[in-house]
Structure 1
Amino acid sequence: MSTSPAKFQGIAILDHKDWKNPKKVEYEPKKFLDHDIDIKIECCGVCGSDIHTASGHWGDITKPLVVGHEIIGTVVRLGDKCTSGLKLGDRVGVGAQAFSCLECGRCKSDNEPYCTKSVWTYSTNYEDGYNSKGGYADYIRLHEHFAIPIPENIPSHLAAPLMCGGITAFSPLLRNGCGRGKKVGIMGIGGIGHMALIFAKAMGAEVYAISRTSAKKDDSIKMGADHFIATKEEPDWATKYFDTFDLIVVCSNSLTDINFDVVPRTMKVGGKIVSICAPEQNEVINLKPFGLLGVSISNSALGGINEIKQMLDLVSKKDLKIWVETVPISEKGVKEVFERMDMGDVRYRFTLTDYDKEFFT
């Protein structure tokens, strides 16, 4: 039985040129299919992808544009053929993916984000042409596979940023051998970088926080970093740390300022540099091929559903606490987080809260 409305409400971008002034709108949800669920949203994290998409950095998106893909909420409707074991009333999380074919080799090997038929939680067209809508809204409708139960001891406002930012940090650590006996650098101590630092330490690695200046040194040490490197304040840092790292995860917003002819010198033979950066469309990187001798450089997307479950298990068992600031959702609240994110004024993630007051009173 459905307890969700015929139309949903959200705080939407109506014009990329005026993206910092979103408006509350009503819109039609996607068609409800047999394996779909509806989730009443409790809170939603604010991701850098929201800013790129809202501002038009990633192209002109269908309006109204409702962003948000770090969603925590309650299951209120289940399709007739749902088999995931979810029940009405379950608290679940949704990340940046709402659909994949679930039949290809990539999906069957727990690589759903790499499926060629992926539909992202917002701004992507389904096969019927419906443009997906995200979590700055009262409800979301999506395939059951992409809703994940949240452990009881993780507060919702801390769970939300894990669903995209967290798994984007965790996946390259997990896939590239982060653990005891490894020296791991986290480059860029921002929203995702600070989570990568916390995860790498919890996974047993010796962790080096790498930032341009020493402004975030104290915070990084509090988060668990064993060492801190300020690259602009230590011009010879690559020489000092020659042959040090097994893995560096690049968590910067942009790759333009990273010298890929320098960073590889700090890697051990067989070391890996993995970027999670999703910059503006026109950005490129430059490097000399000799810098790749013995070193691999790659880019990582989201993690698959099983990886998200592993991350949540780690956070739950280790009682990890990421650094989050909450802001009540509203036109004013979304404008505030957009403006502050654009200025880099956040330590270290935002979660939009108080959905009941905005949408359900």
Structure 2
Amino acid sequence: MSIDYRFEGWCGLDKEAVGNMKWQEYEPKPFTDHDVDIRITHCGMCGADLHTLRNGWGFTPYPCVVGHEIVGRAVRVGKNVDHVKVGDRVGVGAQADSCLKPDCEACADGQESYCPNTISTFGSNWPDGSKSYGGYANYSRTAGRFIFRIPVELPSHEVGPMLCAGITVYAPLKREGCGPGKKVGIIGLGGLGHFGVLFAKALGADKVVVISRSNAKKEDAKKLGADDFLATSEEKGWDSGASRLSNSLDLIISTTSSPNMPLSGYLSLLKFRGQFIQVGAPEDNLPGFNAFALLPKRAKIGGSIIGSRAEIREMLDFAVKKNIHPWIELRPLQEANQAMMDLDAGKPRYRYCLVNENHEEF
């Protein structure tokens, strides 16, 4: 089947790509009967895009088109894809594929985001050696089994960021028991953190505390539904073990990507059997901590990355049911370089979403 469109996008060519991406044509993976082509209308902007463009994690395969919060219209559907048809509004998140083999421990457990053979939506290689390219582009080609039909109740510019930022916090909140009777801390009020507040409150947590360096976002936290706010640079003794929030939180979700986080202080806020889950990915190693911040409480430290396909579908249905609306700022796809520099400067409140101004509205 011939197609009448070309794949073009904002390509990062080297580690100086932040603010300096080039719009150019690229070659997607060969189309198979298992694939779907999406005409992109919206793509959220994620911190992972920054880390990748500047090679902060050390494995960027230039040239690279970033973006993994993609929403658009299916324009070509492989014959072996039975849940999507041409014309459907669909999306794809940070994961483009996994092995899904019965002898893969993660995939067999329904946790394919932990598959050792996962393929990311950008910056990975498909089995045939071709590269995966992301959503700062006009089209996306990816495996149909990781593409989701979008509920009609969710606007495209809101659902895009849910496919990475949203699921990154929803999955560990749900998995670790956020709900009635629980007190939850969210470290960092950014793209991930603001979703954390929205979902924790919607899941019924008794108390949600935002933990940030300063009080600059305190009013926003309240508007999002937070019950309390801790500014670590402005509240003396917060990490002493005897502050008003010490030994009070059942669960902390850390969205920060700072390698200089006061980890021992954060752990002092956990109560007996409390859990600290890291979802932010710093470019450097996390700091050490005092073992006695864990031992007397039987506390645990863990990590989480995005979520499974089942968890994503559950999250989308939950967002509809609870009428959840993230705080999204639209930026033109044509101005992606400026938007990227603004993202790097920490300006979003709280997630940017690129919109192709030539798209057909749904």
Same fold by TM-score greater than 0.5? yes
* 1:246 and 1:268 in contact (8 A); partners too: yes
Q: Does 1:266 align with 2:269?
A: yes
Give matches, 1:207-356, under 5 Å: 207-238=208-239, 239=242, 240-256=244-260, 258-280=261-283, 282-293=284-295, 294-330=298-334, 333-356=335-358
Measured at CA, do residues 245 and 35 of structure 1 come closer, stay the same or move farther in structure 2, by a change above 3 Å? same
Aligned-pair CA distance for 1:355: 4.7
TM-score by length of 2: 0.93
Match of residue 139 from structure 2: 139
Cα deviation code 1:266-321 (max 9, x no counterpart): 211111000101111x3232112222211101111111111111111111111111
* 1:4 and 1:77 in contact (8 A); partners too: no
Aligned-pair CA distance for 1:3: 5.2
Alignment partners' CA distance in 2, 1:181 and 1:3: 55
The residue type equivalent to 2:228 in the other structure is H
* 1:249 and 1:276 in contact (8 A); partners too: yes
The residue type equivalent to 2:154 in the other structure is I
Alignment partners' CA distance in 2, 1:302 and 1:4: 34
* Residue aligned with 2:113, SS: helix
Alignment partners' CA distance in 2, 1:219 and 1:60: 35
Aligned-pair CA distance for 1:60: 5.0
Alignment partners' CA distance in 1, 2:2 and 2:332: 27
Q: Does 1:187 align with 2:191?
A: no
Alignment partners' CA distance in 2, 1:22 and 1:60: 18
Alignment partners' CA distance in 2, 1:116 and 1:60: 16
Give matches, 1:145-160, under 5 Å: 145-160=145-160
The residue type equivalent to 1:323 in the other structure is W
* 1:3 and 1:76 in contact (8 A); partners too: no
Alignment partners' CA distance in 2, 1:243 and 1:323: 31
Alignment partners' CA distance in 2, 1:186 and 1:139: 35
TM-score by length of 1: 0.94
Q: Does 1:111 align with 2:111?
A: yes
- Indicate the percent of aligned positions where both proteins have the same amino acid: 43
* 1:4 and 1:38 in contact (8 A); partners too: no
| Structure 2 alignment gaps of length 5 or more | none
Aligned-pair CA distance for 1:101: 0.6
Match of residue 33 from structure 2: 34
Measured at CA, do residues 193 and 165 of structure 1 come closer, stay the same or move farther in structure 2, by a change above 3 Å? same
Alignment partners' CA distance in 1, 2:238 and 2:270: 12
* 2:12 and 2:20 in contact (8 A); partners too: yes
Alignment partners' CA distance in 2, 1:56 and 1:180: 41
The residue type equivalent to 1:94 in the other structure is V
The residue type equivalent to 1:180 in the other structure is P
The residue type equivalent to 1:82 in the other structure is V
* Residue aligned with 2:100, SS: coil
* 2:68 and 2:135 in contact (8 A); partners too: yes
Match of residue 65 from structure 1: 64
Alignment partners' CA distance in 1, 2:17 and 2:188: 29
* Residue aligned with 1:128, SS: coil
* Residue aligned with 2:216, SS: helix
Alignment partners' CA distance in 1, 2:327 and 2:69: 15
Q: What is the aligned-residue RMSD (CA, Å)? A: 1.6
Aligned-pair CA distance for 1:79: 1.2
Alignment partners' CA distance in 1, 2:247 and 2:290: 18
| Structure 1 alignment gaps of length 5 or more | none
Aligned-pair CA distance for 1:213: 1.1
* 1:52 and 1:58 in contact (8 A); partners too: yes
The residue type equivalent to 1:229 in the other structure is L
Cα deviation code 1:154-190 (max 9, x no counterpart): 1101111111111111111011100011000111111
The residue type equivalent to 1:56 in the other structure is N
Measured at CA, do residues 354 and 290 of structure 1 come closer, stay the same or move farther in structure 2, by a change above 3 Å? same
The residue type equivalent to 1:137 in the other structure is A
* 2:17 and 2:53 in contact (8 A); partners too: no
Aligned-pair CA distance for 1:2: 6.2
The residue type equivalent to 2:318 in the other structure is L
Match of residue 95 from structure 1: 93
